[in-house]
Amino acid sequence: MSKKASASPKVVNRLVVIGLGLIGSSLAVAARQRGFANQVIGISRRQSTLEIALKNGIVDRCAESLGQIAAELGEGDIVVIAVPTLSVPSVLEESVSQLSPNVTITDVASVKDSVVKAAQSLFGEMPPQLVPGHPIAGSEKSGVTAANGDLFTNHRVILTPVEATAVGHLKRATDLWEATGALVSIMSVLEHDQILAATSHLPHFLAYSLVDTLAGMSDKTDIFRYAAGGFRDFTRIAASDPVMWRDIALANKDSIIEVMDRIMENFKAMRCAIESGDRQYLMDLFTRARDARNHFGKILESKTPDTGIHSPMTEKVIDYIVSPGGSACGDIRVPGDKSMSHRSIMLGSLAEGMTEVTGFLEGEDSLATLQAFRDMGVDIEGPNEGRVVIHGVGLHGLQTPSKPLYLGNSGTSMRLLSGLMAGQTFDVELRGDASLSGRPMGRVATPLREMGAVIETDADGTPPLRIKGGQKLSSINYLMPMASAQVKSCVLLAGLYAEGETSTVEPAPTRDHTERMLRGFGYQVNSDGSKASLSGGGSLMATRIDVPADISSAAFFMVAAAIVPGSDITLRHVGVNPTRIGVINILRQMGTHIELSNHIEVGGEPVADIRVRYAPLKGIVIPEDQVPLAIDEFPVLFVAAACAQGTTLLTGAEELRVKESDRIQSMADGLVTLGIDAQATVDGIRIQGGQLGSGEVASFDDHRIAMAFTIAALRANGKIRVKETNNVATSFPDFISLAQQIGIGIEIAAAEAQ
Ligand code: S3P
C-alpha cells in the first residue's frame, strides 16, 4: 500500500468483502488506506486472488467462504456482496441464512430490481438488513490487481432501500460509502434501473455493437487501422468485462429494451432521412443533439471545475473559501439579465420568424427554459457566447413534449410556462429540483383555473404541475394578492390564448419585462398604473433582443464596493428598468456613492453604466415600496446592513420566505454564525451592524445566499467557508472569475463529506 492509513473515524467494525474484483478490492483497499474499518476481510473462491490481496495489503484477513467467519460477525459489521450481478442471488442466500440480522448486508450490482426480486423470492420478503447499492465507478481494468483506493472519491453511490429496509442498516451502508469519499444518493429501485439503462447500459451496448459489426465485416479486415479519435472515444467502453455486461443486459431487461426501442426508432428515422436526402431532418437532429450535449457539458463543467469528470453521477459538490481584505475595483460587465433571458426564449419561440438574442444568460435557469422549448420542438441554435437564434413556431406551433419538462431550480420558468402551457392543445407536466418542488404554485394555479385551465399540483400546492391541454381559456381581471412579476406574467401569457381582454392589477409595482418585451414582439399591451392588460388572439413577430447585464448579479459587486474602503467599480451596460433599481435606491440611502452614466434604451429597456464608490454606510429603515424593486437583492443588502453603523430594519418582505430558500432565515442564520446580531421577523429582519467574524456558513442550496456570504468575507476578520455553492451556476456562471478579477480572494474547495 502506498498511502498511509489516516486517522478516520471507524464507521464500521469489520468490513467483509465477498468478491475481490475491481469494485470489491477497491473498496477493501479504500478502507485500509483511509482507516474507516477496524478490520477488512476479503472472501474469494480463488486462492490466487486471496494471495494477491494479502500480499498487496488490500485486506487484513482472508477466507474462502463466508461460512468460515459468519459466526464472528454481529452489530457494527458489514458484508458487501461484490460479485457479478447474476451471481448475487446465490451469495445473498448464503449470507442471509448464515449471518445475524444485526449484520448489515449490501451489494454493488449495477441492476437493483433483479437483486430485490431475488431476495423477495428467496426469503418471502426483503430482509431488513439488506441495503441494495450501486457505486457508479469503474474502469476498463478488472480484477484484484486493478484495486484503487480512490476509485469512489467524488463518484456517486446510489442506495435503493425499500420499505422493509431498516434505518440503522441504511445508515451504516451510507456511512461506509461516504467514508470512501463517495457522494451517496438515495432513489427508488425503478428510477435507478431506468436511469442506468439510459445513461450507462445503452452506451455500452452501442459500443459493443459497433465494434462487433465492424469487426465482422470480413471484407474490410484492416479498417480499425484507419480508425480516428472519434472511433476510439466512442468504443473505449467496449473493452469492458463481458461477463459483467452480459449479466447487466439480462438483469435489467425491461428498462434496457424500452430505451433500445427508442434509439432504434430514432436510428431508423435517421436512416430514412439519409436515404431520401432529407437535409432539414438531419440538420435539425444533429443541431438538437449537439446543443443538448453542449448544454449538459456546460453544466457538468461548471459543476466539476477541476475533476474533468463528465458524468452527472460524479458531480462534485464545491465550497468557496473566501479571504478577507480583498477589494472591489475595476470595470466589468456581469452576465445577462435572467428575467429577460427567460422571456426572450419564451416569446422568441412563440413568435413567427427568426429571433436573434444577444447577451443571453448562459446560466442553468435560463438554459432550463431553453431546453423546455427544444423539448417542445422549437429549433434553437446556441447559446454561443450569449448569442441564441430561435426559429419561432408561432403561438400555436409547439409540439407535445415526450417527457415532463424539467425546469431545475427555476421558479420563473415554471410559473411563466404554466401560463403558456394552459393555452396549449396538449397535456404537459412541469417538474423541478428539490428546492423548486417545495415552492408555492397555488399562486399561479388559482388565476389560471379561474380562466378555465385544468391544473393539478401536489396536495400542498407545490410542483409537479400537471396541465391539461385543449381547454378554452376565458379572460379575467385578476387582482393579485401579492406583488409578483411571475404571477402577473403568467396571467398575461395565458391571456395570449384567452378570448377577450385579460388584465392584472398589482398591489405594488413589480418588474415589467413581460409587458415591454411583448411590445417589442409587436403585441399590444396596455399599462395604466397598477393595471396591465392585453387581448388574446394576436400574434408575435420575431425581433432582435439585446439582453443587458443583470442588475441582480451586479448587486453583489455593488455591495462589495459599498463595504470595502477605497473601492471604486464600474459595472457596464446594466439594465436599470425602474422596477429593478431598489438596490441602487437603498444603497444610496445608506450612504453609498452611486453614479449612472451612458444612459441608452435597448429594445424598450433602459440601460446604463453604474459606478459605485465606497463611503461609510449607515443603517436605515428600508421603505416598503422598495421591497418588490429589490426583491432578489436582499441577501446581499443584508450584508451591507451588517457592515453599516447602526440598525437596519426591513418589513413587508414576507415574499423572501418563499424564494429558492427562506431567504430571511438563511441570511439570519449565517449572519448570526458570523457574529452579527440579526433577528428574523415574520416579514423581514432587524440587523445591527458590527464586525463580521470568520466561520462556515450554509448556502441552503440558494445561489444568492452563497454569493452574498462570499461578499461578506471581504469585511470579515478571517476566512469564510461558504458551503455547497454549485448552485451559483443557476444565475451567475462566471461569478468566481469576475470576483477574482475585481480583487476578491476566493478559492474553490471540494465539499467535505457530511
Ligand atoms: C422574477 C420575478 C421575481 C424574482 C425572480 C424573477 C421574474 O419573483 O424574485 O427572481 O423574472 O419575473 P416573484 O414574482 O415571485 O416576486
Q: What average pLDDT does the segment 649-674 reach?
A: 96
- 135, 170, 187 - which closes a domain: 187
> Over pLDDT 70: what percentage of the chain?
95
Higher pLDDT, 200 or 676: 676
Is the confidence at residue 480, as pLDDT, over 90?
yes
Work out which ligand 1 atom sits closest to the CA atom of 485.
14
Range of the domain at 72: 12-187
Residue nearest to atom 4 of ligand 1 (CA): 632
Report helix, strand or coil for 677: strand
Cα–ligand 1 centroid distance for 441 (angstroms):
13
> Looking at 372-376, 496-500, 703-707, which range is the least confident one?
372-376
CATH number of the domain that residue 527 is part of: 3.65.10.10
CATH number of the domain that residue 41 is part of: 3.40.50.720
User: Is residue 256 domain-shared with residue 404, that is, in the same domain?
Assistant: no
Work out which ligand 1 atom sits closest to the CA atom of 489.
12
Residue 164 lies in a domain: yes
- pLDDT at residue number 312: 38
Q: How confident is the model at residue 221 (pLDDT cuts 50, 70, 90)?
A: low
- pLDDT at residue number 303: 37
User: Is residue 542 domain-shared with residue 574, that is, in the same domain?
Assistant: no
User: Is residue 571 domain-shared with residue 502, that is, in the same domain?
Assistant: no
User: Is residue 691 domain-shared with residue 742, that is, in the same domain?
Assistant: yes
Q: Give 463: exposed, middle or buried? Use CB within 10 Å, 0-12, 13-18, 19+.
A: buried
- For residue 486, the cross-strand partners are none
- For residue 574, the cross-strand partners are 549, 608
Q: Report DSSP state, residue 474.
A: B
- 546, 570, 587 - which closes a domain: 546
Cα–ligand 1 centroid distance for 706 (angstroms):
18
Claim: this prediction has a pTM higher than 0.85? no
Residue 31 lies in a domain: yes
Residue nearest to atom 11 of ligand 1 (CA): 339
CATH number of the domain that residue 221 is part of: 1.10.3660.10
Residue nearest to atom 9 of ligand 1 (CA): 632
Is the confidence at residue 1, as pLDDT, over 50?
no
Distance CA(232)–CA(747), nearest Å, equals: 36
Q: Hey, how many other C-beta atoms are within 10 angstroms of the C-beta on 225?
A: 6
User: Is residue 387 domain-shared with residue 465, that is, in the same domain?
Assistant: yes
Cα–ligand 1 centroid distance for 279 (angstroms):
41
User: Is residue 569 domain-shared with residue 671, that is, in the same domain?
Assistant: yes
Residue nearest to atom 10 of ligand 1 (CA): 632
Q: What average pLDDT does the segment 301-309 reach?
A: 33
Return phi, psi of residue 749, to 5°.
-135, 150
Q: What average pLDDT does the segment 249-271 reach?
A: 95
Q: Where are the alpha helices (DSSP H) in 46-200?
A: 47-55, 88-98, 113-123, 167-179, 189-196
Quick check: 73 and 92 in contact, CB under 8 A?
no
Is the confidence at residue 311, as pLDDT, over 50?
no
Query: What digits encode the pLDDT tens for the residues 460-470?
Result: 999 999 999 99
Q: Count structural domains, the chain.
A: 4
Report helix, strand or coil for 104: strand
- CA-nearest of 88, 96, 136, 138 to 113 is 88
Residue 310 lies in a domain: no
Helices first, then strands: H and E counts in the chain: 23, 33
Q: How confident is the model at residue 297 (pLDDT cuts 50, 70, 90)?
A: low
Residue 297 lies in a domain: no
Is the confidence at residue 134, as pLDDT, over 90?
yes
Q: Report DSSP state, residue 198.
A: I
- Using a 6 Å CB cutoff, which residues line ligand 1? 339, 412, 484-486, 489, 511, 631-632, 655
Work out which ligand 1 atom sits closest to the CA atom of 338.
11
DSSP of 338-364, one letter per residue? HHHHHHHHHHHHHEEEEEEEES---SH
- For residue 478, the cross-strand partners are 504
Work out which ligand 1 atom sits closest to the CA atom of 484.
14
Residue 538 lies in a domain: yes
Is the confidence at residue 423, as pLDDT, over 90?
yes
Name the residue of 412, 510, 550, 731 to mutate for ligand 1: max ligand atoms within 8 A of Cβ: 412
Residue 479 lies in a domain: yes
- CA-nearest of 562, 684, 555 to 618 is 562
Return phi, psi of residue 101, to 5°.
-65, -10
Residue 726 lies in a domain: yes
| Alpha carbon distances (Å) from 645 to 552, 582, 689 | 24, 20, 5
Residues annotated catalytic, as ranges = 632
Residue 419 lies in a domain: yes
Is the confidence at residue 753, as pLDDT, over 70?
no
User: Is residue 72 domain-shared with residue 151, that is, in the same domain?
Assistant: yes
Q: What average pLDDT does the segment 630-640 reach?
A: 98
- pLDDT at residue number 219: 65
User: Is residue 411 domain-shared with residue 560, that is, in the same domain?
Assistant: no
Distance CA(130)–CA(290), nearest Å, equals: 42
